[in-house]
Amino acid sequence: MITQITYRLGLTGWPLGHSLSPLLHKTFFNAAGISGYYDLYPVPPNNEGKNQIKLLLDRLEDNSLHGLNVTIPHKQTIIPFLDDLTPSAHAIGAVNAIHVQNDLLTGDNTDAPGFMADLDRLYTQNQIQKRPSPPFALVLGAGGSARAVSYALSRAHWQVTIASRRLEQALSLSTDLFDPDLLPLSPISLNADKLAGLLPDLIVNTTPIGMSPNNEATPWPDEIPLPTCASLYDLVYNPQETRLVKHAREAGLTATTGLGMLIEQAALAFYNWTGLLVSNKTKQKGEELASIYLISDSPIS
């Protein structure tokens, strides 16, 4: 008699109060007809948090946990606790999903392909043509998410400029992702003087600025307008319309939040953990339920 496995998955980060990941993975479990749980493991970024991270990784090793997502602020700091990294996670220098492979704790990065999958959808649905030779992307922020986005864009042959309030962080990211076969990444300070006059085809906000409950915050300086030639992608998905997205749409830009990227990266991680593909129909169902949750701000059973 074959006993069906009950998958136990989870997410660690800080804070995690409004995470949509449990809802999405419940949708994936139901569509696949398998049993599973997806729990939240809030871990603060301090010495006590390091002990909690180690305990979670111990659970992966003893198979009482089958997969673990990682979000801010642990995407980079968790790497020393792992045995191995996938090539993309190693190149990016950030991990958002962990599994056990050949008895090794292996860090992966599904953010990069998840972002590109949703970006392609944005461009296709809105019939946006990328400029030739090459298209120009402006990435706001230089943390773990910025690493994944910049990695994905540069390898898709975009010219990438990274703007960070801490210039040294943008410099470090540009150096870490340097590839002699690709266009170099350009670091600048994230301020009005440096952003004024830039004409990117795409602006990507990878910072948490504007995330609920700080809905009125925006990473874009108020004293300069958004460039009307650009499309805008804000990785923040809660609230459903960030201030940055709202201002972009009012200025006539095509703009979206990161909900689609969240779903795409979750589907890729789910496949790594279970071997089961998530259909486009199931992704759409997950997006519909997530949108209802964001509007109502109440859990869905």
Annotated active-site residue 75? The verdict is yes
Instruction: Report phi then psi at 100, rounded to 5.
Output: -100, 125
Determine the distance from the C-alpha atom of residue 19 to the mean position of all C-alpha atoms in its chain, rounded to a whole number.
13
Closest CA to 219 of 163, 262, 169, 173: 163
CA distances (Å), origin 138, targets 113, 144, 283: 18, 16, 28
Among residues 26, 50, 54, 75, which one is catalytic? 75
- Tokens 């990785």 locate to 235
Two structure tokens written together for 158: 């975009």
- Tokens 């972002």 locate to 115
CA distances (Å), origin 42, targets 10, 13, 72, 172, 287: 10, 5, 11, 28, 24
Q: Which residues are catalytic?
A: 75
